[in-house]
Amino acid sequence: MHDIDDGAIYYNDRNFTELNRNGKKEIRKEMGMVFQGGALFDSLNVEENVKFPLDMFSSMSEKEKNKRVAFCLDRVNIHNANHLYPAEISGGMQKRVAIARAIALNPKYLFCDEPNSGLDPVTAIVIDNLIQEITKEFNMTTIINTHDMNSVMEIGEKILFISKGFKAWEGNKDQIFNTDNQALNDFVFASDLFKNIKKST
């Protein structure tokens, strides 16, 4: 989405920054993205939103596309909402439709930007678990950008802590509690709840 200022980006040994638009398009087909606000297309209903990447990039017949849409929506537990527009469904449903759209083309990589922001804790866990299940089921690599430590501790396998634009720490969820990285400790144990948890452990 943004041009780089310096350096290069490599994707499977291919220099992404030197690729032309078509080359980048081919790579982007292998990626799915779930945006913070869902970023569903307002003018399309739920079914059309999920079908959109198939319309644009697949050579499937209409029947195959409808079958794939039905599968993706069923996989994220969206039922009887095919003809509703994004404004007519809840935030949690919007996130699930966004996930369905992101997996429609069977991506190798799924990027999620704050997937459970603005959701209540129960729905947030539902979304976290859904992402985790889909990641395993579709054999994808999922990269989640989040500030939600509940989410990190729930589904994070490999965790990178970014502070002020740079990688400040790397590890897994078991190592977080014992780290001596000050920036990470200040972030994770900012709330009294987490401070108490740390004391008790």
Partner 1 sequence: MNLFEHVGKFSRFLLLVLSKPEKEKLFFSQIVKEIHKLGINSIGIVVIISLFMGAVIALQTAYNMLNPLLPDYLVGYTTRESMLLEFSSTIVGLILAGKVGSNIASEIGSMRVTEQIDALEIMGINSANHLILPKIVAALFINPFLYVLSVFVGILGGLSAGYLTSTVPISEFIYGIQYGFIPYYITYSLIKTAVFAFIITAVPSYYGYYVKGGALEVGKASTKAVVNSSILILLSNVILTQILLK
| 57 in contact with partner 1 (CB under 8 A) | yes
Q: How many residues does the chain have?
A: 201
Task: Give per-residue burial for 170-190: e unless 16+ CB within 10 Å, then b.
Answer: ebeeeebeeeebeebbebbbe
94 vs 135, which CB is nearer to partner 1?
Answer: 94
3 vs 13, which CB is nearer to partner 1?
Answer: 3
24 vs 75, which CB is nearer to partner 1?
Answer: 24
Which of 55, 74, 137, 170 lies at the binding interface for partner 1 (CB under 8 A)? Answer: 55
Nearest-approach distance from CB 60 to partner 1, in angstroms: 13
CA-CA distance, 173 to 153, in Å (whole number)? 6
36 vs 181, which CB is nearer to partner 1?
Answer: 36
Place of tokens 């539902």: 126
CA-CA distance, 20 to 59, in Å (whole number)? 23
The CB density around residue 101, as the number of other CB atoms within 10 Å, is 28
Place of tokens 């030197």: 18
Residues contacting 88, CB < 8 A, separation 6+ = none
| 163 in contact with partner 1 (CB under 8 A) | no
| 42 in contact with partner 1 (CB under 8 A) | yes
Residue type, 197: I
Residue span binding partner 1 (CB under 8 A) among the ranges 6-14, 37-45, 148-156, 177-185: 37-45
| 35 in contact with partner 1 (CB under 8 A) | yes
Which of 40, 93, 140, 176 lies at the binding interface for partner 1 (CB under 8 A)? Answer: 40
| 183 in contact with partner 1 (CB under 8 A) | no
Residue span binding partner 1 (CB under 8 A) among the ranges 29-37, 145-153, 169-177, 185-193: 29-37
| 64 in contact with partner 1 (CB under 8 A) | no
Cα dihedral: 151, 12, 108, 83 (round 10): 100
CA-CA distance, 103 to 88, in Å (whole number)? 22
Contact map string, positions 83 to 122, toward partner 1, x by CB under 8 A: ----------------------------x-----------
Q: Pick the closest to residue 24 from 7, 2, 52, 49 (CA basis).
A: 2
Binding site residues, partner 1, CB under 8 A: 1, 21, 24-29, 31, 33, 35-37, 39-42, 53, 55-57, 111
